[in-house]
Structure 1
Amino acid sequence: MEEMLRRILTSRVYEAAIETPLDAAVSLSACMSNNILLKREDQQPVFSFKIRGAYNRIAHLSSEEKKRGVLAASAGNHAQGVAFSARKLQIPALIIMPETTPQIKVEAVKYFGGEVVLHGASYSEAADYARQIIEETGMVFIHPFDDPLVIAGQGTVADELLRQNPGELDAIFVPVGGGGLIAGIAAYIKALRPDIMVIGVEPQDSDAMARSLEKGEPVTLEAPGIFADGVAVKRVGDLTFELCRKFVDEIIRVDTDELCGGIKAIYQATRSIVEPAGALGMTGLLKYVRESGCRNKTLIAINSGANMNFERLRYVAERTMIGEKLEALFAVTIPEEPGSLKRFCRDLVGERNITEFNYRLSSRDRAQIFVGISIRDSRERQSFSRQLSEAGYENIDLTDNSLAKTHIRYMVGGRSQEVQNERLFRFWFPETPGALVKFLDATRGARNISLFHYRMQGGDYGRVLVGLEFPEGNDPHLEERLAALGYRYREETDNPAYSLFL
């Protein structure tokens, strides 16, 4: 702890980074009955806290190391921090980025003076290639999180927090990816103010630190989620794990819908838009308040980054109400007869707002509708389902059904009387030219594509729904072909939303 404290206090971050403000979220504080503050790391020169650790590490290089140049493997904010820092120190910088990296991030790295090489379909492939280049050139690798000087640079956030808010402070909510930011903050806070809780926040599908702490050693995720791409790491650092094990009080997991709600909460408080990973702190804070019922506490959320793809905003807006627990989605069976829809809306929906309604005639006796209902909280969602059942309406709550929210809602009425022996799959295609052709080559043979749905959502991967028809019976080699293809996928043939609507 003493060594890390010394490194933080002697960091050279302010040659490149700024001391970011600690803003009060006045209206949100009143709504949540707590004093909520936002640490605005989204206002750094590269719109992320990553510049702190990157610059501190590079500034401490020897003269001989600086001549060799620096190299990083990153798909986002660390790459920009390294490029910016290297340019300021007049050091050559090479950044290896996956071919799936959004163009906005590639252009940002080039703007900050970094040379970009695109390689591989994932961060892991880019990192492997980076290690190969290091062996060939002798360039210095700048790790995104598992380095004492990087951690110390990120830890300067905590030093600022205690100076900006020297009085009462109950908890700090910190986004967690590889663990560099929370390791630095936690080590500093626990050295000076051990009474303050340091709480990490991770996506449910990228929870490498939470799993590692539960197991007692670093674990490797098979396929981290991609929505919060800034924290999508397979394995946390060895050093960051040890610091978190000693000094972090708790890790909160949040889902994608809750994360979208967190982005909206920050926008309403600051009129700024943060990236999904940047909103983790706020999302965890809101979840903590809802579940603990705490009142009159002083809580700080770290706004860690604002490198948001504009195209992703549509997806965020669609999922926000569910994330805020203000919308519920249902599949409801109603009689196919005159007046039945009116009765459903009048007698059951009542004063609630209908947020979405999808329907298409599928038979002459019953109709399946996909409906969104505005609610006040989760209890009302359960109450509405019971109300439907008591009125004789079969229903399925689809609010937590990812297939329904991502695809089915846009495809209601897609049932075919012609298709035979169909199996349904969800795929995550890399957003690169030739991805579909590669898929078609891998699945060629005694099968037919009977359904295909894709909608760009601004991420590194496209979400694709595919129906495969096997008129001559099942294909025993299908799983083998899909495994060789290498795309992440999940079979959804048994999903109730599929049987109801498709």
Structure 2
Amino acid sequence: MNKTPQRTAAASAEAQRLLAQYAKRIEQAAGRVYDVADVTALEHAPKLSARLGCKLLLKREDTQPVYSFKLRGAYNKMASLSDEARAHGVVTASAGNHAQGVALSAAKLGIPSSIVMPRTTPAIKVDAVRSLGGKAILHGDAYDDALAHALELVDRGMTLVHPYDDPEVIAGQGTIAREILEQLPQLGVEKLDAVFVCVGGGGLLAGIAAWIKHKSPHTKVICVEPDDSNCMGAGLKAGRRIKLAQAGLFADGVSVRQAGEEPFKLARHFVDDCVEVSIDEICAAIRDLFNEKRAVPEPAGALGIAGVKRYAQTHDLSGKTVCAIVSGANINFDRLRYVAERAELGDDAETLLAVTIPEKPGSFKKFLSHLRRRPITEFNYRYSSSGAAHVFVGIKITEGAAEREKLIQILREQDLPVADMTGNEMAKLHVRFMVGGRAPGLADEHLFRFVFPERPGALEDFLHAIGGRWNISLFHYRNHGAAFGRVLCGLQIPRGQLGDVRRSLDQLGYEYWEETDNPAYALFLGTRA
């Protein structure tokens, strides 16, 4: 948890000014946005409420016409433009929900719209923009390239519709909070104790926080971020905007390196706490909403639910009523396999163990007997030598860490070497698909794990950095349907040259980790037992 800084008297006066300003803006937005946006349902989540010991409400922005809240802010901004500005058209840079919100809003208002998207944008998103009447312009290999081109169009007279750093966009998103407070009596709720909001650039958070603190100041506003894209929480803790070196891309809807200037100004006054969640926890929250409502949110859309679950681990929510914003449902179908793989880990309902068993008849049967009929979720085996075999096994558990430790102790009491791989990212991403890939006798091998950008030339750039100086002894690539790929790579590096490799990789700019000492490597892939 990241607590926000204490607020001074001067800050309090500034807060009151901002509240008055944004309350007026949000009221005005409420007179516009319903030309395109729906008043989405506020629903009770009984199954999750029972698990968490509170009353959990879900604000279903995933049911909007473009399956995201983004059209509220986009439409409000564009509806506020003068006739002259409308005639010149609008432009934005986006490969996601904001792009569709701008395209739909522009079509409704009869405004020409240009949506600049990286050339790597999936065809389904490009087609969605075009089907809504927007002009999709493919430019560059990354978002920054697209944004630079969008700004060139602004210089030619078009109006930029920013995805989050604009007062009118923020006000449009604030209409969500207005609806929530108006809908509470319909559910028999007199008091809302907290609202959990996903955060990228901060436009949604800022709009909701401004209205909540205006109308219901006792309600806590809690921002939820992926732990690899925590620019808002880091900034609030530091008291200034922070620019991350890199933002994780699994929850692509909130993959932002720096919070917007205007959203951050509001968040400093009106956000009470920040929660960070892991990829596994986000996947578990996606599954939770499916089990609860038979709906499948995108990763960013599930952040609010994941945040409530994380918050409940350290705060007593008994008797409390809390709300999670389900912000969107634009998930690529090919990501669902990955989500399913990680969901059990996110709820600590599965443990991954690496076990060495004797290579002799009856060993499998004896090993399984030690698990005492616990459900097996995954089982990978590979012959290692005439005396030993390596097993990578997933086991369903119901009592979390305590049961995991008990199970490990049982195996060790049977003199079976065991390593807990549940939190081992390399094992989860790569080794479970590569069991048995050992290379006895391979000298000077070092292991690295990379995040490759999904763009043309990414692999060639990597090979150019290696420059033919070091032999590639292992290469395993996985794509998760997002704008990045996971790579595990082995390099043969002669003694004294590891520093040269590191410098070459640093210059390349890809995020990487050295994994040579990872126990998963020693057990399954390496040359050491």
Classify the TM-score, shorter chain. over 0.9
**Secondary structure of the residue that 1:360 maps to in structure 2?**
strand
Partner of 2:432: 409
1:29 shift after superposition? 2.5
Q: How does 1:87-486 map to 2 (within 5 A)?
A: 87-135=107-155, 137-166=156-185, 167-347=190-370, 349-376=371-398, 377-470=400-493, 474=497, 477-486=500-509
1:340 shift after superposition? 3.0
Aligned residues: 500
Distance 1:173 1:402, change over 3 A: same
Aligned partner letter, 2:90: V
Contact 2:224 2:307 in 1 (8 A): yes
Aligned partner letter, 2:347: E
Contact 1:75 1:101 in 2 (8 A): yes
Kindly report structure 1 stretches of 4+ aligned residues shifted beyond 6 Å: none
Aligned partner letter, 1:371: V
Tell me the distance in 2 between the aligned counterparts of 1:8 and 1:433.
43
In the TM superposition, what whole-angstrom CA distance separates every residue of 1:53-102 from its partner, at most 9, and x where no partner exists? 01001111111211221111112111111111111111111112223322
1:421 shift after superposition? 1.5
Contact 2:450 2:511 in 1 (8 A): yes
Match of 1:5 among 2, 14, 23: 23
TM-score, length-scaled by structure 1: 0.95
The range that moved more, 446-455 or 210-219, is 446-455
Aligned partner letter, 1:461: F
The range that moved more, 210-219 or 35-44, is 35-44
Distance 1:404 1:158, change over 3 A: same
TM-score, length-scaled by structure 2: 0.90
Question: Structure 1: 5+ residue runs without aligned partners?
Answer: none
1:111 shift after superposition? 1.5
Distance 1:138 1:26, change over 3 A: same
Contact 1:121 1:430 in 2 (8 A): no
Aligned partner letter, 2:290: Y
The range that moved more, 365-374 or 28-37, is 28-37
Identity fraction in percent: 52
Tell me the distance in 2 between the aligned counterparts of 1:382 and 1:140.
58
In the TM superposition, what whole-angstrom CA distance separates every residue of 1:446-480 from its partner, at most 9, and x where no partner exists? 32221111233211112122222246973664334
Aligned partner letter, 2:91: L
**Secondary structure of the residue that 1:14 maps to in structure 2?**
helix
Question: Structure 2: 5+ residue runs without aligned partners?
Answer: 1-18
Tell me the distance in 1 between the aligned counterparts of 2:414 and 2:246.
43
The range that moved more, 366-375 or 321-330, is 366-375
1:294 shift after superposition? 2.4
The range that moved more, 221-230 or 125-134, is 125-134
**Secondary structure of the residue that 1:257 maps to in structure 2?**
helix
Aligned partner letter, 2:394: G
Contact 1:186 1:244 in 2 (8 A): yes
**Secondary structure of the residue that 2:328 maps to in structure 1?**
coil
Tell me the distance in 2 between the aligned counterparts of 1:481 and 1:352.
47
1:128 shift after superposition? 2.6
Tell me the distance in 2 between the aligned counterparts of 1:93 and 1:224.
28
Q: Give the root-mean-square deviation of aligned CA atoms.
A: 1.8
Match of 1:69 among 78, 89, 99: 89
The range that moved more, 156-165 or 24-33, is 24-33
The range that moved more, 428-437 or 179-188, is 428-437
**Secondary structure of the residue that 1:338 maps to in structure 2?**
coil
**Secondary structure of the residue that 1:252 maps to in structure 2?**
strand
Tell me the distance in 1 between the aligned counterparts of 2:207 and 2:458.
40
1:138 shift after superposition? 2.2
Contact 1:70 1:94 in 2 (8 A): yes
1:415 shift after superposition? 0.3
In the TM superposition, what whole-angstrom CA distance separates every residue of 1:412-463 from its partner, at most 9, and x where no partner exists? 1000125322122222223334433333333232322211112332111121
Contact 2:411 2:418 in 1 (8 A): yes
Contact 2:52 2:317 in 1 (8 A): no
Contact 2:73 2:171 in 1 (8 A): yes
